[in-house]
Amino acid sequence: MDATKIGKRIQDTRKARGLTQSDLAAKVDITPKYLSNIECGDKVPKFETFVAIANALEVDANTLLVDVLHVSSAIISTEISQKLSALSPAEQRRLKRVLDVMIEEASGQR
């Protein structure tokens, strides 16, 4: 398991949520130093701590493990769905049209 990749994903997600290390550490009931060690890949959190981090960041565990799991297509689909849900309905429809064209081209239907 690549602790550095997991730590980087946690850090990126934390920053995207606008949280400091102190904020997230307080939510998870760990020290900011321990969280820093996790984000740097120096420490691998216990399962319970990892789940608490995912819950505090409001993401599924797969999102944090995407770089280290071999079932990446399902994870990528989840990540895309999460990003799409943040868009307005008009933006979602526009992206769907683009994807429809790309999928048609990829499958040779055009």
Q: Which comes out higher in pLDDT, residue 83 or 20?
A: 20
| Positive or negative torsion for Cα 88, 91, 93, 96 | negative
Residue 83: pLDDT above 60? Answer: yes
Residue 110: pLDDT above 60? Answer: no
Helices (H) and strands (E) counted in the chain, each on its own, are 7, 0
Q: Please give the model's pTM, rounded to 2 decimal places.
A: 0.64
How does pLDDT run across 39-58, given as a tens digit for each residue? 999 999 999 999 999 999 99
**Other residues' Cβ atoms within 10 Å of the Cβ of residue 25:** 21
Alpha-carbon 39 to chain mean position: 13
Q: Which comes out higher in pLDDT, residue 77 or 82?
A: 82
